[in-house]
Amino acid sequence: MTYCVAMAVNDGLVFLSDTRTNAGVDHISTARKMSVFEQPGERLLVLLGAGNLSITQAVLHELSEPSDPARPTLWNAPTMADAARVVGSAVRRVHQREAEALQTFGVDFNCSFILGGQIAGNRMRLFMIYAAGNFIESSAVNPYFQIGEAKYGKPIIDRVLTLSTPLDEAAKSALISMDSTLRSNLSVGLPLDLLVYEKDALRVTRFVSIDRDNAYFDMLHRTWGERLRQVFAEIPDPDWQQSPDAPSPQSERALVLYRAPVGADGIEHEQDVSPAQILAQADKGKAQRR
């Protein structure tokens, strides 16, 4: 019951998360899924979490309240890759401590994270971290990550996002992606947390919590729906009439429609028909037409 998306473009990073954690008929609850680790001028790291809330919060506690002071933390990791390893190690420690007990109650160890940011002297980087503690990094081919209910908001990002996308346009595409998810999935809900990081700023400069009264998001929601319907209406309907480019019934490209034979009881019965049988049936029909 989560949707989080993060994007890495040349000008900066975009992080967006919803806050819904439960969506029953009579019980809806919320919790923040974005955590910020900031030392202005030295580092800015953003962590998004999805999955079982008790597990993601346990990992966050491991990161923000380390039990071993000698262990590396997000506050002293020298590079973003080292920071991703810190998060992965925290995930494995929580798994080692709690996975067996959770399994006894039939609860899967379900969590995933997105970590992004910049440390002074290093470039911006973005990582996805899995429940096993392993991780992958974004690239020019795939400059964004999603966790949670990702499928509804993926198409718009795939169509518009590249490394050269301006930062504000990237943020707009993230919001449209979230709007599409909100429209199709009850388990994702407002308010939203949006953080836009400008390259080399090393501090939070743009953050907003978006609720139902946010004028920009309301405008985006209405405009996107209206324009989609407008474009849909402008696309021609299928043309079922004959045209020079349409295959004729005698054409080699004509569609072969297979109809199941009617049984003795007058009911059509399914049969397994191989492609070779269908082609043979088509050839027989062409021979009869000649």
- Taking only the tens place, the pLDDT of each residue in 237-266 is 988 876 666 555 555 555 566 677 776 565
Check residue 103 and give its pLDDT: 95
| pLDDT tens per residue across all 290 residues of the chain | 799 999 999 999 999 999 998 756 567 788 999 999 999 999 999 999 999 999 999 999 999 998 888 999 999 999 999 999 999 999 999 999 999 999 999 999 999 999 999 999 999 999 999 999 999 999 999 999 999 999 999 999 999 999 999 999 999 999 999 999 999 998 899 999 999 999 999 999 999 999 999 999 999 999 999 999 999 999 999 888 766 665 555 555 555 666 777 765 655 555 555 556 656 665 665 666 55
The two tokens of residue 235 are: 């696309």
Residues 37 and 124 in one domain: yes
How far from chain centre, in Å, is Cα 21? 17
How far from chain centre, in Å, is Cα 32? 18
DSSP 129-195: E-TTS-EEE--SS--EEEEES-GGGHHHHHHH--TTS-HHHHHHHHHHHHHHHHHH-TTS-S-EEEE
Closest among 40, 46, 50 to 13, alpha carbons compared: 46
Where in the sequence is the domain holding 258, given as residue range(s)? 249-290
Check residue 193 and give its pLDDT: 97
Residues 211 and 254 in one domain: no
Instruction: Kindly report whether the peptide bond that precedes residue 191 is cis, defined as omega within 30 degrees of 0.
Output: yes
Give the chain's mean pLDDT: 89
Residues 51 and 194 in one domain: yes
Check residue 66 and give its pLDDT: 86
Closest among 46, 49, 38, 9 to 172, alpha carbons compared: 9
Q: Which residues pair with 8 in a beta bridge?
A: 13
Q: How many residues does the structure list for the chain?
A: 290
Residues 75 and 213 in one domain: yes
Check residue 29 and give its pLDDT: 83
How far from chain centre, in Å, is Cα 38? 25
Residues 187-206 as b/e (b if ≥16 CB within 10 A, e otherwise) read bbbbbbbbbbbbeeebeeee
Q: Looking at residue 161, which CATH number applies to its domain?
A: 3.60.20.10
Q: Flag whether 15 is in a domain.
A: yes
The two tokens of residue 202 are: 């090393």
> pTM of whole model > 0.95?
no
Sign for the CA dihedral angle at 158, 164, 170, 176 comes to negative
Residues 212 and 261 in one domain: no
Q: Flag whether 155 is in a domain.
A: yes
